[in-house]
Amino acid sequence: MFSVRTTRLCASLALMAGAVLMTSSAAKATPAFAKKEMQKCTYCHVKPGGDRNFRGLYYAANDHSFEKFDNEFEAKVAGVKSDTVGIEAVPTVEVYPPKEYKVAKALNFMMKDINDKPAHLGRYEGKVIMVVNVASKCGNTPQYEALQKLYTKYKDKGLVILGFPANEFGKQEPGTNAEIKEFCTSTYKVTFPMFSKIVVKGEEINPFYKFLTSKKTDEKFAGDIEWNFAKFLINRKGEVIGRIKAGTKPDDASVVEALEKALKPEEKKE
């Protein structure tokens, strides 16, 4: 009799333990999209299963896809810091996702970074931007060193340099994105943003470079890219304010002067 009762008790305890385990597992379960992104549920929710933060709202509004999601840009649109999660990532703006978000025309382009991740150029609005088409096997390639020095010196004042690998000139950028990244970081210790290889001239020109070089959109600085390491300057308002020839070194006095002028805070009108 004692052994029968003991057996029943053990069975009941086992069932209870199993139920607790199942409840615990369910509470900690990660939705499929979070698994795919290798993130905890708080990446998209205030708390698992609760209200969504800006990432979850974006995900729901874009056919449950993060394919074109740029965390830095969307955090800016939502009015929160890009590294926040959970309740701290709840949008501070009245409407998110907005039906329309105004970005300067020169920066309203979705690109892919050197790691093939979406990067909306609107994330850089408010900074002074130098756009450079780069190559690894060119006589101008040592300009990487001067570009990095400029970036190191002025980044805290608002400068960002954007490198766009291109293979149109002498086929001097034949490598993959991974090879290009390895080259720039190991040889020139590049830390400024680098992007996936694009076409900057010809029929298959990337839309961003088409904007920069077309008379319809950039009349003052229009014209085909002449060679590797041609440079454009964009001010804090997202306006193209200068173009520097490929052969002109980034640390040339004229370039530094133009940069410092653009970086200088605007005087407040009384």
Which residue, 102, 100, 172, is CA-closest to 137? 172
Do residues 107 and 70 lie in contact, with contact meaning Cβ atoms separated by under 8 Å? no
How far is Cα 91 from Cα 52, in angstroms, rounded to an integer? Answer: 10
Bridge partners of 129? 160, 234
Q: Which residue has the tokens 């979406």?
A: 118
Q: Which of 41, 44, 138, 184 is catalytic?
A: 138
**Catalytic residue check, 41:** no
Query: Contact at 8 Å (CB) between 168 and 213?
Result: no
Instruction: Measure the CA–CA gap between 255 and 151, rounded to whole angstroms.
Output: 13
Residue at token pair 């009108």: 269
* CA 269 – CA 141 distance, rounded (Å): 43
Q: What are the catalytic residues?
A: 138
